[in-house]
Chains A and B, each alone.
Chain A
Amino acid sequence: MSDEKIIEIENLSKQFRDIKAVDHLNLNVYRGDVFGFLGPNGAGKSTTIRMMTSLIAPTEGAIRIFGTQLNEKRNDILKKIGAIVEKPDFYGYISAFKNLEMLGKISGGKISSKRIMEVLELVGLEKRYNSKVKTFSHGMKQRLGIAQALLHDPELIILDEPTTGLDPQGMKEIRDLIIYLSNEKNKTIFLSSHILYEVELVANRMIIINKGSAKVEGRVEDLLNSNKLKVTVEVDDSEKAKTILNNTSWIDKLESEVNGKFSFLLRQEEISGLNKYLVQNDVAVKAVIPTRSLEEYFLNITNKES
Protein backbone atom coordinates (compact mmCIF):
# COMPACT_ATOMS: atom_id res chain seq x y z
CA MET A 1 0.00 0.00 0.00
CA SER A 2 1.22 3.53 -0.67
CA ASP A 3 0.47 7.01 0.65
CA GLU A 4 -1.00 8.11 -2.66
CA LYS A 5 -4.66 8.92 -2.20
CA ILE A 6 -6.79 7.42 -4.96
CA ILE A 7 -10.17 8.45 -3.57
CA GLU A 8 -10.69 11.47 -1.31
CA ILE A 9 -14.19 12.20 -0.15
CA GLU A 10 -14.75 15.35 1.85
CA ASN A 11 -17.97 16.31 3.61
CA LEU A 12 -20.04 14.52 1.01
CA SER A 13 -23.79 14.82 1.42
CA LYS A 14 -26.81 13.91 -0.63
CA GLN A 15 -30.30 15.02 0.19
CA PHE A 16 -33.37 13.51 -1.50
CA ARG A 17 -36.23 15.83 -0.54
CA ASP A 18 -36.59 15.17 3.20
CA ILE A 19 -34.17 12.23 3.33
CA LYS A 20 -30.47 12.74 3.93
CA ALA A 21 -29.01 9.64 2.28
CA VAL A 22 -25.38 10.66 2.82
CA ASP A 23 -24.43 13.06 5.60
CA HIS A 24 -21.02 14.78 5.57
CA LEU A 25 -19.10 11.63 4.74
CA ASN A 26 -15.30 11.71 4.74
CA LEU A 27 -13.03 8.90 3.60
CA ASN A 28 -9.70 8.23 1.93
CA VAL A 29 -8.66 5.26 -0.15
CA TYR A 30 -4.97 4.75 -0.91
CA ARG A 31 -3.33 3.12 -3.93
CA GLY A 32 -3.31 -0.64 -3.55
CA ASP A 33 -6.03 -0.71 -0.91
CA VAL A 34 -8.82 -3.21 -0.85
CA PHE A 35 -11.13 -0.84 0.92
CA GLY A 36 -14.22 -2.26 2.61
CA PHE A 37 -17.20 0.06 2.53
CA LEU A 38 -19.52 -1.43 5.11
CA GLY A 39 -22.97 -0.56 6.28
CA PRO A 40 -26.41 -2.08 6.67
CA ASN A 41 -28.97 -1.86 3.89
CA GLY A 42 -30.02 1.77 3.45
CA ALA A 43 -26.87 3.17 5.09
CA GLY A 44 -26.01 5.25 2.02
CA LYS A 45 -23.41 2.98 0.40
CA SER A 46 -24.96 2.85 -3.06
CA THR A 47 -25.79 6.56 -3.00
CA THR A 48 -22.13 7.28 -2.26
CA ILE A 49 -21.03 4.99 -5.09
CA ARG A 50 -23.52 6.63 -7.45
CA MET A 51 -21.94 9.98 -6.62
CA MET A 52 -18.44 8.53 -7.12
CA THR A 53 -19.45 7.29 -10.58
CA SER A 54 -21.28 10.52 -11.51
CA LEU A 55 -24.70 8.89 -11.71
CA ILE A 56 -26.00 11.41 -9.21
CA ALA A 57 -24.75 14.82 -8.17
CA PRO A 58 -23.77 15.53 -4.56
CA THR A 59 -25.79 18.09 -2.65
CA GLU A 60 -22.62 19.16 -0.85
CA GLY A 61 -18.97 18.18 -0.55
CA ALA A 62 -16.20 17.07 -2.85
CA ILE A 63 -15.03 13.88 -4.51
CA ARG A 64 -11.44 13.71 -5.74
CA ILE A 65 -10.32 10.63 -7.59
CA PHE A 66 -6.70 10.27 -8.75
CA GLY A 67 -6.17 13.72 -7.22
CA THR A 68 -8.69 15.39 -9.53
CA GLN A 69 -12.14 16.75 -8.81
CA LEU A 70 -14.69 14.35 -10.31
CA ASN A 71 -16.96 17.11 -11.56
CA GLU A 72 -14.07 18.83 -13.36
CA LYS A 73 -12.50 15.95 -15.28
CA ARG A 74 -15.24 13.37 -15.18
CA ASN A 75 -14.35 11.56 -18.41
CA ASP A 76 -10.61 11.39 -17.68
CA ILE A 77 -11.35 9.88 -14.28
CA LEU A 78 -13.99 7.42 -15.52
CA LYS A 79 -11.49 6.08 -18.08
CA LYS A 80 -9.51 4.72 -15.14
CA ILE A 81 -12.48 3.34 -13.19
CA GLY A 82 -14.39 0.10 -13.60
CA ALA A 83 -17.58 -0.16 -11.59
CA ILE A 84 -20.53 -2.32 -10.72
CA VAL A 85 -23.29 -0.20 -9.26
CA GLU A 86 -25.96 -2.22 -7.48
CA LYS A 87 -27.50 -5.06 -9.45
CA PRO A 88 -25.99 -5.93 -12.80
CA ASP A 89 -28.34 -4.95 -15.62
CA PHE A 90 -27.44 -5.36 -19.28
CA TYR A 91 -29.13 -5.23 -22.66
CA GLY A 92 -30.92 -8.57 -22.35
CA TYR A 93 -31.70 -8.88 -26.05
CA ILE A 94 -27.99 -8.79 -26.96
CA SER A 95 -25.30 -11.42 -26.33
CA ALA A 96 -22.77 -11.15 -23.49
CA PHE A 97 -19.97 -10.60 -26.01
CA LYS A 98 -21.86 -7.88 -27.88
CA ASN A 99 -22.78 -6.13 -24.61
CA LEU A 100 -19.10 -5.98 -23.68
CA GLU A 101 -18.10 -4.97 -27.20
CA MET A 102 -20.54 -2.05 -27.10
CA LEU A 103 -19.35 -0.95 -23.67
CA GLY A 104 -15.74 -1.38 -24.78
CA LYS A 105 -16.26 1.06 -27.64
CA ILE A 106 -17.16 3.79 -25.16
CA SER A 107 -14.67 2.92 -22.43
CA GLY A 108 -11.96 5.24 -23.61
CA GLY A 109 -9.70 2.93 -25.57
CA LYS A 110 -9.72 0.20 -28.15
CA ILE A 111 -10.93 -3.06 -26.64
CA SER A 112 -10.07 -6.09 -28.77
CA SER A 113 -12.19 -9.24 -29.10
CA LYS A 114 -9.32 -11.07 -27.42
CA ARG A 115 -9.59 -8.82 -24.37
CA ILE A 116 -13.37 -9.36 -24.23
CA MET A 117 -12.86 -13.13 -24.24
CA GLU A 118 -10.12 -12.75 -21.60
CA VAL A 119 -12.42 -11.03 -19.12
CA LEU A 120 -15.26 -13.44 -19.90
CA GLU A 121 -12.86 -16.28 -19.15
CA LEU A 122 -11.76 -14.59 -15.94
CA VAL A 123 -15.36 -14.66 -14.66
CA GLY A 124 -16.13 -18.10 -16.12
CA LEU A 125 -18.52 -17.03 -18.84
CA GLU A 126 -16.42 -17.80 -21.91
CA LYS A 127 -18.68 -20.68 -22.98
CA ARG A 128 -21.78 -18.47 -22.87
CA TYR A 129 -20.23 -15.54 -24.72
CA ASN A 130 -22.74 -15.77 -27.53
CA SER A 131 -25.86 -16.25 -25.38
CA LYS A 132 -28.32 -13.42 -24.94
CA VAL A 133 -28.01 -11.91 -21.48
CA LYS A 134 -31.74 -12.38 -20.83
CA THR A 135 -31.05 -16.12 -20.61
CA PHE A 136 -28.50 -15.58 -17.80
CA SER A 137 -29.15 -16.29 -14.13
CA HIS A 138 -28.61 -13.52 -11.57
CA GLY A 139 -25.25 -15.00 -10.65
CA MET A 140 -24.14 -15.01 -14.29
CA LYS A 141 -25.21 -11.40 -14.70
CA GLN A 142 -23.23 -10.57 -11.57
CA ARG A 143 -20.15 -12.16 -13.15
CA LEU A 144 -20.78 -10.30 -16.38
CA GLY A 145 -21.01 -7.13 -14.29
CA ILE A 146 -17.52 -7.81 -12.98
CA ALA A 147 -16.32 -8.55 -16.53
CA GLN A 148 -17.58 -5.16 -17.78
CA ALA A 149 -15.90 -3.45 -14.83
CA LEU A 150 -12.55 -5.05 -15.72
CA LEU A 151 -12.91 -4.69 -19.49
CA HIS A 152 -10.73 -1.62 -19.98
CA ASP A 153 -8.17 -2.68 -17.36
CA PRO A 154 -9.00 0.15 -14.92
CA GLU A 155 -6.74 1.25 -12.06
CA LEU A 156 -9.62 1.59 -9.63
CA ILE A 157 -12.38 -1.00 -9.37
CA ILE A 158 -15.58 -0.09 -7.54
CA LEU A 159 -17.67 -3.09 -6.59
CA ASP A 160 -21.08 -2.52 -5.06
CA GLU A 161 -22.21 -5.69 -3.30
CA PRO A 162 -20.58 -7.93 -5.94
CA THR A 163 -21.52 -11.22 -4.28
CA THR A 164 -25.23 -10.52 -3.93
CA GLY A 165 -27.21 -13.44 -5.32
CA LEU A 166 -24.22 -15.72 -5.70
CA ASP A 167 -24.00 -19.21 -4.22
CA PRO A 168 -21.20 -19.92 -1.69
CA GLN A 169 -18.90 -21.21 -4.42
CA GLY A 170 -19.57 -18.11 -6.53
CA MET A 171 -18.94 -15.85 -3.52
CA LYS A 172 -15.61 -17.53 -2.90
CA GLU A 173 -14.64 -17.14 -6.55
CA ILE A 174 -15.39 -13.43 -6.42
CA ARG A 175 -13.35 -13.05 -3.22
CA ASP A 176 -10.48 -14.93 -4.85
CA LEU A 177 -10.77 -12.68 -7.89
CA ILE A 178 -10.61 -9.56 -5.68
CA ILE A 179 -7.50 -10.89 -3.95
CA TYR A 180 -5.96 -11.76 -7.34
CA LEU A 181 -6.70 -8.30 -8.75
CA SER A 182 -5.20 -6.66 -5.70
CA ASN A 183 -2.14 -8.86 -5.26
CA GLU A 184 -1.26 -9.75 -8.85
CA LYS A 185 -2.61 -6.80 -10.82
CA ASN A 186 -2.05 -4.05 -8.23
CA LYS A 187 -5.55 -2.71 -8.55
CA THR A 188 -7.14 -0.47 -5.96
CA ILE A 189 -10.48 -1.92 -5.00
CA PHE A 190 -13.41 -0.18 -3.34
CA LEU A 191 -15.67 -2.94 -2.07
CA SER A 192 -19.10 -2.10 -0.76
CA SER A 193 -20.87 -4.73 1.28
CA HIS A 194 -23.23 -5.29 4.15
CA ILE A 195 -21.55 -8.62 4.89
CA LEU A 196 -18.77 -8.04 7.38
CA TYR A 197 -17.27 -11.46 6.89
CA GLU A 198 -16.74 -10.75 3.21
CA VAL A 199 -14.86 -7.53 3.97
CA GLU A 200 -12.83 -9.14 6.74
CA LEU A 201 -11.55 -11.76 4.32
CA VAL A 202 -10.33 -9.47 1.57
CA ALA A 203 -9.99 -5.87 2.78
CA ASN A 204 -7.00 -4.22 4.42
CA ARG A 205 -8.84 -1.02 5.33
CA MET A 206 -12.48 -0.32 5.92
CA ILE A 207 -15.12 2.16 6.96
CA ILE A 208 -18.46 1.46 8.58
CA ILE A 209 -21.23 3.86 7.70
CA ASN A 210 -24.75 4.11 8.98
CA LYS A 211 -27.49 6.60 8.18
CA GLY A 212 -25.17 8.24 5.70
CA SER A 213 -22.26 9.06 7.93
CA ALA A 214 -19.03 7.32 8.95
CA LYS A 215 -18.96 5.52 12.26
CA VAL A 216 -15.47 4.10 12.22
CA GLU A 217 -12.61 3.94 9.75
CA GLY A 218 -9.24 2.23 9.86
CA ARG A 219 -7.20 -0.88 9.23
CA VAL A 220 -9.30 -4.02 9.46
CA GLU A 221 -6.61 -5.64 11.62
CA ASP A 222 -6.62 -2.77 14.12
CA LEU A 223 -10.38 -2.65 14.33
CA LEU A 224 -10.49 -6.37 14.95
CA ASN A 225 -8.02 -6.21 17.82
CA SER A 226 -8.97 -2.96 19.50
CA ASN A 227 -12.54 -3.83 20.20
CA LYS A 228 -14.14 -5.84 22.90
CA LEU A 229 -15.47 -9.28 22.27
CA LYS A 230 -18.87 -10.47 23.20
CA VAL A 231 -18.17 -13.60 25.26
CA THR A 232 -20.87 -16.03 26.33
CA VAL A 233 -19.99 -18.06 29.43
CA GLU A 234 -22.00 -21.14 30.30
CA VAL A 235 -21.80 -22.39 33.90
CA ASP A 236 -23.25 -25.30 35.90
CA ASP A 237 -24.74 -23.14 38.70
CA SER A 238 -25.98 -19.82 37.45
CA GLU A 239 -27.37 -18.59 40.79
CA LYS A 240 -24.03 -19.12 42.51
CA ALA A 241 -22.21 -17.49 39.63
CA LYS A 242 -24.53 -14.48 39.80
CA THR A 243 -23.88 -14.05 43.54
CA ILE A 244 -20.14 -14.28 43.09
CA LEU A 245 -20.07 -11.89 40.16
CA ASN A 246 -22.24 -9.31 41.99
CA ASN A 247 -19.35 -8.65 44.36
CA THR A 248 -16.82 -7.96 41.60
CA SER A 249 -16.11 -5.50 38.82
CA TRP A 250 -16.99 -8.24 36.29
CA ILE A 251 -20.64 -7.35 36.86
CA ASP A 252 -20.05 -4.03 35.08
CA LYS A 253 -19.09 -5.96 32.01
CA LEU A 254 -22.10 -8.26 32.10
CA GLU A 255 -24.44 -7.62 29.20
CA SER A 256 -27.12 -10.26 29.74
CA GLU A 257 -27.95 -13.50 31.49
CA VAL A 258 -30.32 -16.01 29.96
CA ASN A 259 -30.79 -19.60 31.20
CA GLY A 260 -27.41 -19.79 32.86
CA LYS A 261 -25.60 -18.23 29.92
CA PHE A 262 -23.83 -14.99 30.82
CA SER A 263 -22.78 -12.60 28.07
CA PHE A 264 -19.90 -10.23 28.78
CA LEU A 265 -18.23 -7.49 26.75
CA LEU A 266 -14.54 -8.13 27.33
CA ARG A 267 -11.14 -7.50 25.92
CA GLN A 268 -9.37 -10.60 24.58
CA GLU A 269 -6.93 -10.66 27.50
CA GLU A 270 -9.70 -10.53 30.12
CA ILE A 271 -11.28 -13.85 29.11
CA SER A 272 -8.85 -16.10 30.94
CA GLY A 273 -9.12 -13.94 34.09
CA LEU A 274 -12.90 -14.34 34.22
CA ASN A 275 -12.63 -18.06 33.65
CA LYS A 276 -10.02 -18.37 36.41
CA TYR A 277 -12.11 -16.30 38.85
CA LEU A 278 -15.22 -18.45 38.37
CA VAL A 279 -13.28 -21.70 38.72
CA GLN A 280 -11.47 -20.46 41.85
CA ASN A 281 -14.91 -19.77 43.39
CA ASP A 282 -16.13 -23.31 42.66
CA VAL A 283 -18.27 -22.46 39.65
CA ALA A 284 -17.72 -25.02 36.91
CA VAL A 285 -17.37 -23.32 33.53
CA LYS A 286 -18.95 -25.49 30.82
CA ALA A 287 -18.16 -23.25 27.85
CA VAL A 288 -16.63 -19.89 26.87
CA ILE A 289 -17.87 -18.80 23.44
CA PRO A 290 -16.43 -15.62 21.92
CA THR A 291 -18.28 -13.87 19.11
CA ARG A 292 -16.15 -12.27 16.40
CA SER A 293 -15.47 -8.77 17.60
CA LEU A 294 -15.90 -6.78 14.45
CA GLU A 295 -19.24 -8.34 13.72
CA GLU A 296 -20.42 -7.42 17.19
CA TYR A 297 -18.97 -3.97 16.75
CA PHE A 298 -20.77 -3.54 13.46
CA LEU A 299 -24.06 -4.72 14.93
CA ASN A 300 -23.61 -2.52 17.98
CA ILE A 301 -23.08 0.55 15.87
CA THR A 302 -25.89 -0.11 13.47
CA ASN A 303 -28.40 -1.41 16.03
CA LYS A 304 -27.87 1.48 18.41
CA GLU A 305 -28.61 3.95 15.65
CA SER A 306 -31.67 2.19 14.39
Chain B
Amino acid sequence: MYNLISIELYKIFKKWRTYIGFIVIAVLIPVIQIAMLMEGQRSINFMMRNLQQSFLFVGNLLNSYFVSYLVLNSLAIHIPFLIALVAGDLLAGEATAGTYRILITRPVSRFSIATAKFTAGIIYTFLLILWLAIVSLGLGTLIFGTGELLNYSNGSIIILAKNDVLWRFMLAYLFAVLSMGVVTSLAFLFSSLVENAIGPIISTMAIIIIFMIVSAINISLFQSIKPYLFTNYMDTWRAFFDNPIDVHTILKSVLILLAHIAVFYSAALIIFKRKDILT
Protein backbone atom coordinates (compact mmCIF):
# COMPACT_ATOMS: atom_id res chain seq x y z
CA MET B 1 0.00 0.00 0.00
CA TYR B 2 2.90 2.34 0.80
CA ASN B 3 4.26 1.82 -2.72
CA LEU B 4 0.88 2.56 -4.26
CA ILE B 5 0.35 5.71 -2.19
CA SER B 6 3.83 7.01 -3.02
CA ILE B 7 3.18 6.34 -6.72
CA GLU B 8 -0.14 8.17 -6.57
CA LEU B 9 1.44 11.13 -4.80
CA TYR B 10 4.24 11.17 -7.37
CA LYS B 11 1.66 11.25 -10.17
CA ILE B 12 -0.35 14.01 -8.46
CA PHE B 13 2.70 16.21 -7.93
CA LYS B 14 3.99 15.63 -11.47
CA LYS B 15 0.88 17.28 -12.90
CA TRP B 16 0.91 21.04 -13.24
CA ARG B 17 -2.77 21.32 -12.28
CA THR B 18 -1.79 20.23 -8.77
CA TYR B 19 0.17 23.43 -8.32
CA ILE B 20 -2.72 25.68 -9.36
CA GLY B 21 -4.10 25.46 -5.83
CA PHE B 22 -0.77 26.29 -4.20
CA ILE B 23 -0.14 29.15 -6.65
CA VAL B 24 -3.64 30.58 -6.19
CA ILE B 25 -3.18 30.59 -2.42
CA ALA B 26 0.32 32.06 -2.73
CA VAL B 27 -1.07 34.91 -4.84
CA LEU B 28 -4.54 35.44 -3.40
CA ILE B 29 -3.66 35.53 0.30
CA PRO B 30 -0.90 38.17 -0.02
CA VAL B 31 -3.29 40.27 -2.14
CA ILE B 32 -5.91 40.06 0.62
CA GLN B 33 -3.25 40.82 3.23
CA ILE B 34 -2.03 43.89 1.32
CA ALA B 35 -5.62 45.07 0.89
CA MET B 36 -6.16 44.61 4.63
CA LEU B 37 -2.94 46.49 5.37
CA MET B 38 -4.33 49.41 3.41
CA GLU B 39 -7.96 49.31 4.45
CA GLY B 40 -8.27 46.84 7.33
CA GLN B 41 -8.36 49.44 10.03
CA ARG B 42 -11.54 50.85 8.53
CA SER B 43 -13.17 47.39 8.80
CA ILE B 44 -12.21 47.13 12.43
CA ASN B 45 -13.51 50.61 13.15
CA PHE B 46 -16.79 49.66 11.45
CA MET B 47 -17.13 46.52 13.59
CA MET B 48 -16.27 48.45 16.76
CA ARG B 49 -18.18 51.64 16.02
CA ASN B 50 -20.60 51.23 18.94
CA LEU B 51 -18.08 49.89 21.44
CA GLN B 52 -15.57 52.63 20.69
CA GLN B 53 -18.05 55.16 22.09
CA SER B 54 -17.82 53.51 25.52
CA PHE B 55 -14.42 51.73 25.53
CA LEU B 56 -10.89 52.52 24.66
CA PHE B 57 -9.13 49.82 22.65
CA VAL B 58 -5.39 49.59 22.83
CA GLY B 59 -3.04 47.18 21.06
CA ASN B 60 -2.78 45.74 17.56
CA LEU B 61 -6.23 44.55 16.50
CA LEU B 62 -5.34 44.48 12.81
CA ASN B 63 -3.01 41.54 13.16
CA SER B 64 -2.28 38.24 11.39
CA TYR B 65 -4.92 36.39 13.45
CA PHE B 66 -7.65 38.79 12.45
CA VAL B 67 -6.66 38.69 8.78
CA SER B 68 -6.28 34.88 8.77
CA TYR B 69 -9.72 34.55 10.35
CA LEU B 70 -11.23 36.70 7.59
CA VAL B 71 -9.34 34.74 4.94
CA LEU B 72 -10.63 31.43 6.29
CA ASN B 73 -14.15 32.86 6.18
CA SER B 74 -13.90 34.00 2.61
CA LEU B 75 -12.51 30.84 1.01
CA ALA B 76 -15.53 28.54 1.38
CA ILE B 77 -15.95 28.25 -2.40
CA HIS B 78 -12.40 28.72 -3.65
CA ILE B 79 -10.70 25.98 -1.67
CA PRO B 80 -13.28 23.29 -2.63
CA PHE B 81 -12.72 24.19 -6.26
CA LEU B 82 -8.96 23.81 -5.91
CA ILE B 83 -9.47 20.45 -4.22
CA ALA B 84 -12.02 19.19 -6.78
CA LEU B 85 -9.51 20.07 -9.50
CA VAL B 86 -7.20 17.33 -8.25
CA ALA B 87 -9.61 14.90 -6.57
CA GLY B 88 -11.92 14.82 -9.59
CA ASP B 89 -9.00 13.69 -11.70
CA LEU B 90 -7.88 10.83 -9.44
CA LEU B 91 -9.84 8.06 -11.17
CA ALA B 92 -11.32 9.77 -14.21
CA GLY B 93 -7.85 11.02 -15.19
CA GLU B 94 -6.68 7.43 -15.62
CA ALA B 95 -9.70 6.69 -17.80
CA THR B 96 -9.11 9.78 -19.94
CA ALA B 97 -5.43 8.97 -20.40
CA GLY B 98 -6.13 5.27 -21.04
CA THR B 99 -3.68 4.32 -18.28
CA TYR B 100 -6.21 2.18 -16.41
CA ARG B 101 -5.10 -0.61 -18.73
CA ILE B 102 -1.49 -0.66 -17.52
CA LEU B 103 -2.52 -0.09 -13.91
CA ILE B 104 -5.34 -2.58 -13.44
CA THR B 105 -3.57 -5.40 -15.30
CA ARG B 106 -0.98 -5.41 -12.47
CA PRO B 107 -1.30 -7.82 -9.54
CA VAL B 108 -2.86 -5.20 -7.29
CA SER B 109 -6.49 -5.26 -6.21
CA ARG B 110 -8.84 -2.51 -7.27
CA PHE B 111 -9.54 -1.88 -3.60
CA SER B 112 -5.84 -1.09 -3.07
CA ILE B 113 -5.67 1.13 -6.15
CA ALA B 114 -8.76 3.12 -5.14
CA THR B 115 -7.66 3.37 -1.50
CA ALA B 116 -4.18 4.56 -2.48
CA LYS B 117 -5.66 7.17 -4.78
CA PHE B 118 -8.11 8.36 -2.15
CA THR B 119 -5.37 8.53 0.49
CA ALA B 120 -3.18 10.53 -1.88
CA GLY B 121 -6.13 12.87 -2.47
CA ILE B 122 -6.57 13.39 1.28
CA ILE B 123 -2.82 14.04 1.67
CA TYR B 124 -3.04 16.64 -1.11
CA THR B 125 -5.99 18.23 0.70
CA PHE B 126 -4.03 18.31 3.94
CA LEU B 127 -1.00 19.87 2.23
CA LEU B 128 -3.16 22.52 0.56
CA ILE B 129 -4.72 23.54 3.89
CA LEU B 130 -1.27 23.45 5.51
CA TRP B 131 -0.02 25.77 2.77
CA LEU B 132 -3.03 28.04 3.41
CA ALA B 133 -2.13 28.11 7.11
CA ILE B 134 1.55 28.84 6.43
CA VAL B 135 0.86 31.67 3.97
CA SER B 136 -2.03 33.06 5.94
CA LEU B 137 -0.54 32.96 9.44
CA GLY B 138 3.17 32.96 8.59
CA LEU B 139 3.20 35.77 6.04
CA GLY B 140 0.48 37.55 8.00
CA THR B 141 2.65 37.57 11.11
CA LEU B 142 5.54 39.06 9.12
CA ILE B 143 3.30 41.81 7.75
CA PHE B 144 0.99 42.55 10.68
CA GLY B 145 2.51 40.88 13.70
CA THR B 146 0.28 39.09 16.21
CA GLY B 147 -2.24 40.37 18.72
CA GLU B 148 -5.67 39.75 20.18
CA LEU B 149 -8.29 38.29 17.90
CA LEU B 150 -11.39 40.30 17.41
CA ASN B 151 -14.22 37.99 16.50
CA TYR B 152 -17.91 38.49 15.84
CA SER B 153 -20.07 35.56 16.84
CA ASN B 154 -23.80 35.10 17.51
CA GLY B 155 -24.40 38.83 17.61
CA SER B 156 -21.64 39.64 20.07
CA ILE B 157 -18.01 40.60 19.79
CA ILE B 158 -15.44 38.26 21.32
CA ILE B 159 -11.90 39.33 21.94
CA LEU B 160 -9.47 36.46 22.42
CA ALA B 161 -6.16 37.02 24.15
CA LYS B 162 -3.04 36.87 21.98
CA ASN B 163 -1.72 33.69 23.65
CA ASP B 164 -5.15 32.04 23.42
CA VAL B 165 -5.48 32.12 19.62
CA LEU B 166 -2.82 30.01 17.90
CA TRP B 167 -4.08 26.64 19.17
CA ARG B 168 -7.58 27.57 18.05
CA PHE B 169 -6.25 28.23 14.57
CA MET B 170 -4.46 24.87 14.54
CA LEU B 171 -7.70 23.08 15.41
CA ALA B 172 -9.66 25.20 12.92
CA TYR B 173 -7.26 24.27 10.14
CA LEU B 174 -7.49 20.61 11.13
CA PHE B 175 -11.25 20.90 10.98
CA ALA B 176 -10.89 22.55 7.56
CA VAL B 177 -8.96 19.47 6.42
CA LEU B 178 -11.90 17.34 7.53
CA SER B 179 -14.41 19.61 5.76
CA MET B 180 -12.35 19.60 2.62
CA GLY B 181 -11.99 15.83 3.00
CA VAL B 182 -15.72 15.64 2.29
CA VAL B 183 -15.14 17.64 -0.89
CA THR B 184 -12.28 15.28 -1.81
CA SER B 185 -14.42 12.21 -1.27
CA LEU B 186 -17.37 13.68 -3.18
CA ALA B 187 -15.15 14.55 -6.15
CA PHE B 188 -13.60 11.08 -5.87
CA LEU B 189 -17.06 9.50 -6.02
CA PHE B 190 -17.94 11.46 -9.15
CA SER B 191 -14.53 10.59 -10.55
CA SER B 192 -15.34 6.87 -10.25
CA LEU B 193 -18.50 7.33 -12.29
CA VAL B 194 -17.16 8.98 -15.41
CA GLU B 195 -14.25 8.91 -17.78
CA ASN B 196 -13.49 12.61 -17.99
CA ALA B 197 -12.19 14.75 -15.12
CA ILE B 198 -14.20 17.84 -16.05
CA GLY B 199 -17.49 16.19 -15.04
CA PRO B 200 -16.45 15.44 -11.43
CA ILE B 201 -15.07 18.95 -10.93
CA ILE B 202 -18.22 20.65 -12.20
CA SER B 203 -20.56 18.23 -10.40
CA THR B 204 -18.75 18.67 -7.08
CA MET B 205 -18.81 22.44 -7.32
CA ALA B 206 -22.44 22.44 -8.44
CA ILE B 207 -23.47 20.42 -5.38
CA ILE B 208 -21.49 22.61 -2.98
CA ILE B 209 -22.87 25.82 -4.46
CA ILE B 210 -26.47 24.52 -4.51
CA PHE B 211 -26.21 23.29 -0.91
CA MET B 212 -24.73 26.60 0.21
CA ILE B 213 -27.47 28.58 -1.52
CA VAL B 214 -30.17 26.36 -0.01
CA SER B 215 -28.57 26.81 3.43
CA ALA B 216 -28.36 30.58 3.07
CA ILE B 217 -31.95 31.24 1.95
CA ASN B 218 -34.23 31.74 4.91
CA ILE B 219 -37.29 29.83 3.74
CA SER B 220 -38.85 27.27 6.06
CA LEU B 221 -38.66 24.49 3.46
CA PHE B 222 -34.94 25.10 2.91
CA GLN B 223 -34.32 25.47 6.63
CA SER B 224 -35.88 22.03 7.23
CA ILE B 225 -33.51 20.51 4.66
CA LYS B 226 -30.47 22.33 6.03
CA PRO B 227 -29.52 19.79 8.75
CA TYR B 228 -29.15 17.13 6.04
CA LEU B 229 -26.72 19.12 3.92
CA PHE B 230 -23.06 18.45 4.64
CA THR B 231 -22.14 22.03 3.73
CA ASN B 232 -24.06 23.08 6.83
CA TYR B 233 -21.33 21.49 8.99
CA MET B 234 -18.32 22.62 7.02
CA ASP B 235 -18.08 26.03 8.68
CA THR B 236 -18.12 24.62 12.22
CA TRP B 237 -14.42 25.60 12.43
CA ARG B 238 -15.74 28.98 13.57
CA ALA B 239 -16.80 27.33 16.83
CA PHE B 240 -13.14 27.05 17.84
CA PHE B 241 -13.08 30.85 18.17
CA ASP B 242 -16.08 31.00 20.50
CA ASN B 243 -15.62 31.42 24.19
CA PRO B 244 -16.40 28.93 25.65
CA ILE B 245 -16.02 26.45 22.82
CA ASP B 246 -19.15 24.41 22.07
CA VAL B 247 -17.53 20.97 22.07
CA HIS B 248 -20.85 19.20 21.44
CA THR B 249 -21.47 21.12 18.21
CA ILE B 250 -17.94 20.45 17.01
CA LEU B 251 -18.10 16.73 17.77
CA LYS B 252 -21.46 16.41 16.05
CA SER B 253 -20.08 18.13 12.95
CA VAL B 254 -16.94 15.97 13.00
CA LEU B 255 -19.03 12.80 13.12
CA ILE B 256 -21.38 13.95 10.37
CA LEU B 257 -18.49 14.96 8.10
CA LEU B 258 -16.64 11.69 8.79
CA ALA B 259 -19.82 9.77 7.95
CA HIS B 260 -20.09 11.63 4.66
CA ILE B 261 -16.47 10.81 3.83
CA ALA B 262 -17.07 7.13 4.64
CA VAL B 263 -20.25 6.97 2.54
CA PHE B 264 -18.77 8.79 -0.48
CA TYR B 265 -15.55 6.74 -0.36
CA SER B 266 -17.41 3.42 0.04
CA ALA B 267 -19.74 4.22 -2.84
CA ALA B 268 -16.75 5.11 -5.03
CA LEU B 269 -15.06 1.86 -4.04
CA ILE B 270 -18.09 -0.26 -4.94
CA ILE B 271 -18.50 1.50 -8.28
CA PHE B 272 -14.79 1.22 -9.10
CA LYS B 273 -14.63 -2.47 -8.18
CA ARG B 274 -17.55 -3.28 -10.50
CA LYS B 275 -16.51 -0.97 -13.29
CA ASP B 276 -15.76 -2.37 -16.73
CA ILE B 277 -12.63 -0.65 -17.99
CA LEU B 278 -13.43 0.19 -21.59
CA THR B 279 -11.11 3.14 -22.19
Q: Residues on A close to B: CB < 8 A?
A: 50, 53-57, 74-79, 81, 83, 85-87, 89-94, 102-103, 105-108, 148
B residues in contact with A91, CB < 8 Å: 11, 14, 97, 99
A57 to B10, CA, bound (A): 30
The answer, among A81, A108, A148, for a CB contact under 8 Å with B102, is A148
A89 to B101, CA, bound (A): 8
Contact B15–A93 (Cβ < 8 Å): yes
- A104 CB to closest chain B CB, in angstroms? 10
Contact B99–A89 (Cβ < 8 Å): yes
A interface secondary structure, majority: loop
Q: Which residue on chain B has the smallest CB distance to residue A160?
A: B101
Q: Residues on B close to A: CB < 8 A?
A: 3-4, 7, 10-11, 14-15, 97-109, 274, 276-278
Instruction: Count A/B pairs, Cβ under 8 Å.
Output: 72
12 contacts between A and B (CB under 8 A): A54-B105, A55-B100, A55-B104, A89-B99, A91-B11, A91-B14, A92-B97, A93-B14, A94-B14, A106-B103, A106-B108, A148-B102
Contact A76–B104 (Cβ < 8 Å): no
A83 to B98, CA, bound (A): 14
B residues in contact with A87, CB < 8 Å: 98
A residues in contact with B276, CB < 8 Å: 50, 55-57
**CB within 8 Å for A83 and B109 given contacts A56-B277, A91-B97:** no
- B102 CB to closest chain A CB, in angstroms? 6
A residues in contact with B102, CB < 8 Å: 89-90, 103, 148
Q: Which residue on chain A has the smallest CB distance to residue B6?
A: A105
Contact B14–A105 (Cβ < 8 Å): no
- A231 CB to closest chain B CB, in angstroms? 43
- A94 CB to closest chain B CB, in angstroms? 6
**CB within 8 Å for A86 and B101 given contacts A56-B276, A102-B10:** yes
Contact A106–B97 (Cβ < 8 Å): no
- B13 CB to closest chain A CB, in angstroms? 11
- B237 CB to closest chain A CB, in angstroms? 35
3 nearest A-B residue pairs (beta carbon): A89-B98, A56-B276, A55-B277
